[in-house]
Structures are given as structure tokens and as C-alpha cells.
């Protein structure tokens, strides 16, 4: 018999929601004031690149972990239209998903699944699909002697995506543009398993170096970015020496995002299809990603007139230094997003995600196959936890 659990206490929640609503007017006033100030600062420092760079260097000396935009040679409020592509590149997009080890399951295992799509532009040929699945079992689940965390599995997935791009691009002689979903920098698990993180980063840097050696253009596509890298640059310019010493606590423009700055609905800084200036990411990762691997970014409005949609595109320095590659990437991403109509997102990344995603039923099927194989070879298999059994029963009862 299924016993209905207690529902949410909506009366209690609604009282809290009303409290949130009561503060809306004051929050809106503060936000609008901060937004106006951000626009003024952007205009004031637009072409003062030497002063901007000098102030960031001073701030970095006080806080080596400072994370903000670092301007190069393009004005802050720059807006660049798409340039006609001189070549028809081959595009490769990769995306991954994973099954995390579950101690409540009958069998301890994990899985990293990567889907990739290859498309030769202007050829009329159908896109080529590639899938790679890696089962994690036994010693695989204990890197450096510690149980593999969800964060380490995610790192393994991200590395596998980039390695897939490297593998598939090797056989292509023409111009190649590759991209993945999310930041170019590997994130996560630093505190959970520091050694595993360092191992993955070294493998990742080697992979990036191989792409650079072959002249491959690569990028990380960040949809609906929440970062405030350019806003933090403006806040650096607002801060005095004492405030710079405690810069992590200094947020005079809190509530204003880069996404708003470049894509304000009524007056977007970027027209549809335009990119912003290219910036270097000033962060502690400078020590890791050096030289041609330095991570940079620009914002790109992939939306339409009246419906701006700024995204962040992260690129390594070797792409920044080659204007033809930069312009080609710009053109490719705009065209890819237009293929998706009113919900702009790179078409090939969408296809790669569809290929890579692991459904719950597929996880159960892999677990069953693994259990059968172990028992066939006379290996003891544990039972799933009672907690998991109760969840499964609850799920069936609710259907």
C-alpha cells in the first residue's frame, strides 16, 4: 500500500513569497541605479585600455585569485559584425553525459558517454555521428585510492569530450572548427580530489596543445552566462586601494550581469550577430593555462532584433591571435544558432547532446547486463539498498 507523503506547506511558502514580493520595488530601484552606473562606467572607460590593464595588474598583485575581464586591443563597448567566411570548414561538436556511481545500487559502476557530430559545411553531405561509451568499474572507481566522486566523473566526461574532438579532427585536412558546451577551462573537483584534478588538467592541456599544433579552431559555448567578468572589471576601476585589498567583498554593481550589459532588451550593446571585444580571463588559472593556451572570451548576440540573447564564447589564445580563425568561428556560431530558429543554440551541439544523453532506462539496462554477467562468472552481487527499493516502489506507485 502506498502512503501519500506530506505535501509542501504552501501556506508557509506563500507567506515567504509575499515577503519577497514586498521588497521588489526597492530591489528594482537599486538594480536600475547600478545598471545606469555600469553603462556610464563602460562608456567612460571604453577606450582607456592602458589604464584598465594597469589597474587590473595592481588589483592582481593584492589578490592573485582576482577573476575579471582583462582588455586586449579592442574598446570595451566594441561591436563587430560577422565577416564573410573565406573557407567552408568542417565542424565538430561534442557533448557528454554520465552515470555516477551509486552506493545504493546492486552493482557499483559508472559510465561516461560522449556524442560527437561532424559536418562539412556547404557540401550537402549528411552529418556524421560518433558515440563513445566508457564503463567505469572496479579499480576505475578508486582513482588515487579514494572513491570516485560525482565531480571527478564530470571531469572525466569533460576531458573525454575534448579528446573526442582531438581524435576526430586528426583525419581532416581542411579547416576545422570544434566546440563543446560550457567553459573552455576544466572546472570542479579541486577540493574533492586534488590529485585527480591535476591529472585531468595535464591531460587536457596536452589535448589542447595537439589541437593548436594542427591549427584547429576550438571554443567553449556558454549559454545564458551568469558570470560578471566585465562588470568586475568596472568594479576594479571603482575601487580604491583599501577596497582592492578586500575586493571579494566589494560589489557596488551587484545585481548587474555581463549578460544584461551586452543584451539589455531595449538597448543591447550588441546588435544581432555581433560579437564584443575579446578579453583575456584574469584568474588564478593563469598559472595553469599559459602561452597559446591562455583562456580568452567574447560575448556574442545570437538573438534577433528585439530579442537579444548574449552568450559567452571562450577561446584559447591561438584563436585570438589568428583573426581569420576568430572571424570564422564567429560566422560559424551565428549560422549554427540561426538553424535553431527562435531558440538560438548551435545546431551541432544540440545534436551532440541528443546523441550523448543517457536515459534512466538505459542506466537500468546497463546495471542488469552487468549483474547478469557477474553472476554468470560466479561473482557475488550485492542487493540494492532498501532506500533505493522504496524509491523505486514509490516511483511505480505514482505512475
Which CATH fold would you assign to the domain 66-227+253-356? archaeoglobus fulgidus dsm 4304 fold (3.30.2170)
CA angle, residues 162, 84, 124, in degrees to nearest 5: 65
Indicate the domain borders of the chain.
Answer: 66-227+253-356, 360-398
CA angle, residues 252, 256, 259, in degrees to nearest 5: 150
Q: What is the pLDDT of residue 103?
A: 82
Nearest to 90 by CA among 210, 175, 167: 175
Residue 189 has pLDDT above 60, yes or no: no
Residue 86 has pLDDT above 90, yes or no: no
Residue 396 has pLDDT above 50, yes or no: no
Instruction: Yes or no: say if 344 and 65 are a contact pair by the CB < 8 Å rule.
Output: no
Residue 5 has pLDDT above 60, yes or no: no
Side-chain-side CA neighbours of 163 within 13 Å: the count stands at 19
Residue 399 has pLDDT above 50, yes or no: no
Q: Which long-range contacts (CB under 8 A, 24 or more apart) does 124-127 make?
A: 127/348, 127/351
Q: What's the pTM value of the predicted model, to 2 decimals? A: 0.91
Q: What is the pLDDT of residue 104?
A: 83
Question: Residue 252: which pLDDT band, with cuts at 50, 70 and 90?
Answer: very high
The alpha carbons of the chain give a radius of gyration, in whole angstroms, of 24
Task: Compute the mean pLDDT over every residue in the chain, rounded to the nearest whole number.
Answer: 92
Amino acid at each position: 500500500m502506498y502512503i501519500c507523503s506530506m505535501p509542501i506547506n504552501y501556506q508557509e511558502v506563500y507567506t515567504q513569497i509575499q515577503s519577497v514580493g514586498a521588497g521588489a520595488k526597492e530591489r528594482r530601484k537599486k538594480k536600475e541605479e547600478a545598471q545606469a552606473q555600469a553603462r556610464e562606467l563602460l562608456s567612460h572607460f571604453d577606450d582607456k585600455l592602458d589604464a584598465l590593464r594597469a589597474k587590473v595588474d595592481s588589483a592582481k598583485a593584492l589578490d592573485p585569485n582576482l577573476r575579471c575581464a582583462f582588455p586586449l586591443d579592442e574598446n570595451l563597448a566594441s561591436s563587430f559584425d560577422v565577416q564573410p567566411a573565406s573557407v567552408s570548414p568542417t565542424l565538430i561538436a561534442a557533448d557528454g553525459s554520465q552515470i555516477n556511481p551509486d552506493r545504493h545500487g546492486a552493482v557499483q559502476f559508472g559510465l561516461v558517454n560522449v556524442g560527437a557530430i561532424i559536418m562539412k559545411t556547404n557540401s550537402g553531405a549528411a552529418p556524421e555521428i560518433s558515440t563513445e561509451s566508457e564503463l567505469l568499474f572496479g579499480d576505475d572507481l578508486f582513482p588515487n585510492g579514494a572513491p570516485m566522486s560525482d565531480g571527478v566523473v564530470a571531469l572525466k566526461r569533460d576531458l573525454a569530450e575534448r579528446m573526442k574532438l582531438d581524435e576526430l579532427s586528426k583525419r581532416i585536412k581542411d579547416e576545422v572548427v570544434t566546440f563543446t558546451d560550457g567553459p573552455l577551462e576544466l572546472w570542479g573537483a579541486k577540493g574533492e580530489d586534488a590529485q585527480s584534478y591535476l591529472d585531468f588538467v595535464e591531460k587536457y592541456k596536452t589535448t589542447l596543445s595537439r589541437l593548436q599544433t594542427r591549427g584547429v579552431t576550438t571554443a567553449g559555448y556558454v549559454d545564458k552566462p551568469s558570470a560578471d567578468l566585465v562588470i568586475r572589471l568596472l568594479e576594479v576601476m571603482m575601487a580604491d586601494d583599501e577596497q582592492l585589498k578586500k575586493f571579494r567583498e566589494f560589489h557596488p554593481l551587484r545585481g548587474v550581469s555581463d549578460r544584461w550589459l551586452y543584451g539589455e532588451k531595449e538597448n543591447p550593446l550588441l546588435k544581432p550577430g555581433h560579437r564584443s571585444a575579446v578579453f583575456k580571463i584574469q584568474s588564478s588559472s593563469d598559472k595553469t593555462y599559459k602561452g597559446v593556451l591562455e583562456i580568452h572570451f567574447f560575448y556574442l548576440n545570437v538573438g534577433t532584433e528585439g530579442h537579444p540573447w548574449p552568450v559567452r564564447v571562450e577561446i584559447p589564445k591561438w584563436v585570438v591571435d589568428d583573426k581569420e580563425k576568430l572571424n570564422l568561428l564567429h560566422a560559424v556560431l551565428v549560422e549554427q544558432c540561426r538553424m535553431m530558429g527562435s531558440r538560438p543554440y548551435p545546431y551541432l551541439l544540440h545534436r551532440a547532446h541528443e546523441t550523448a544523453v543517457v536515459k534512466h532506462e538505459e542506466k537500468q539496462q546497463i546495471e542488469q547486463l552487468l549483474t547478469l554477467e557477474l553472476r554468470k562468472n560466479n561473482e557475488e552481487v550485492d542487493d540494492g539498498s532498501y532506500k533505493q527499493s522504496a524509491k523505486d516502489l514509490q516511483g511505480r506507485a505514482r505512475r
